[in-house]
Amino acid sequence: MLERGGTIGILGGGQLGRMMAMSAAELGYRCIAYAPEGDNVVSCVCDDVFTNKWDDTAALAAFAAQCDVVTWEFENVPVATAQAIPADRIFPHPRALETAQDRLAEKRFVEGLGGRPAAYARVDSRSDLEAAVDRLGAPGILKTRRDGYDGKGQWRIGSARDADALRLPDVPLIYEGYVEFEAEFSVILVRGQDGEMRVWDSTRNAHEGGILATSSLPAGLAIEAQVDEARSLAEQVADALRYVGVLTLEFFATKEGPIFNEMAPRVHNSGHWTIEGAVTSQFENHIRAVAGLPLGDTATVARGVTMTNIIGDAITTAQDFLGQPDTHLHDYGKAEVRQGRKMGHVTRLER
DSSP letter for each residue of 61-100: HHHHHT-SEEEESSTTS-HHHHHTS-GGGBSS-THHHHHH
**Tens-digit pLDDT profile for residues 108-119:** 999 999 999 999
Ordered strands of the 7-11 beta sheet: 48-50, 30-34, 7-11, 69-72
Query: Can you tell me the distance from the alpha carbon of 316 to that of 337, in angstroms, rounded to the nearest whole number?
Result: 10
Q: What is the Cα–Cα distance from 286 to 247, expressed in whole angstroms?
A: 9
User: 10 Å Cβ neighbour count for 236?
Assistant: 15
Strand ranges, E, within the chain: 7-11, 30-34, 48-50, 69-72, 120-123, 140-144, 154-157, 173-177, 183-191, 197-199, 204-208, 211-217, 245-254, 257-264, 304-311, 327-331, 342-350
Span 248-259, pLDDT tens digits? 999 999 999 999
Cis peptide before 36 (omega within 30 of 0): no
The amino acid present at 138, given as its one-letter code, is A
Cβ(3)–Cβ(27) under 8 Å?
no
3-state SS assignment for residue 21: helix
**What are the structural domains of the chain?**
7-90 (3.40.50.20), 119-177 (3.30.1490.20), 183-350 (3.30.470.20)
**pLDDT above 90 coverage of the chain, percent:** 92
Q: Over the stretch 49-65, which tens digit does the pLDDT of each residue have?
A: 999 999 999 999 999 99
Given a cut of 70, the residues of the chain with pLDDT beneath it are 148-151
pLDDT at 38: 79
Q: Dihedral through CA 124, CA 128, CA 130, CA 132, nearest 10? A: -110
pTM for this prediction: 0.96
Tens digit of each residue's pLDDT (9 = 90 or more) over 245-285: 999 999 999 999 999 999 999 999 999 999 999 999 999 99
Q: Rounded to an integer, what distance in angstroms lies between the CA atom of residue 296 and that of residue 278? A: 10
CA end-to-end span of the chain, whole Å?
Answer: 36
